[in-house]
């Protein structure tokens, strides 16, 4: 899995590419934890390049949302591929996490 990072205003954008599974999920979890510990409060995750998400990957998203909520921050997900969208639908994550079609929409939602 590859993770790249950029900023748009106060919002940190993480772009995840590859597979988010039991092997790679600790890397993303650690990256998000580090950002929050260092004061980041708005994170948008661009998941266009994510091919697969396992239950371990889903836990990373829940953990990140919980961490940011406790810090009075916001998490938004964007650009889910059809495969990842299907996994989110089956898991019922549509009602738990804010999901947007574009990164700009996710950034706007975080910036509010």
106 to 12, 54, 76: CA distances (angstroms)? 11, 22, 5
- Smallest CA-to-CA distance from 108 within 4, 11, 5, 7 is with 11
Structural domain count of the chain: 1
CATH number (domain holding residue 79): 3.30.750.24
The pLDDT tens digits of the residues spanning 49-108 come to 999 999 999 999 999 999 999 999 999 999 999 999 999 999 999 889 999 999 999 999
Kindly state the tokens that stand for 110.
């975080």
The pLDDT tens digits of the residues spanning 17-49 come to 999 999 999 999 999 999 999 999 999 999 999
Query: What domain range is 48 assigned to?
Result: 2-111
Residue 43 near residue 8, CB atoms below 8 Å: no
């Amino acid at each position: 899995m590859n993770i790249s990072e950029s900023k748009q205003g106060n919002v940190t954008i993480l772009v995840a590419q590859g597979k988010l599974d039991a092997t790679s999920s600790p890397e993303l979890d650690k990256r998000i934890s580090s950002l929050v510990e260092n004061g980041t409060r708005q994170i948008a995750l661009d998941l266009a390049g994510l091919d697969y998400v396992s239950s371990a990957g889903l836990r990373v998203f829940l953990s990140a949302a919980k961490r940011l909520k406790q810090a009075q921050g916001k998490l938004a997900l964007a650009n889910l591929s059809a495969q990842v969208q299907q996994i989110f639908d089956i898991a019922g994550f549509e009602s738990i996490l804010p999901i947007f079609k574009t990164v700009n929409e996710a950034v706007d939602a975080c910036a509010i």
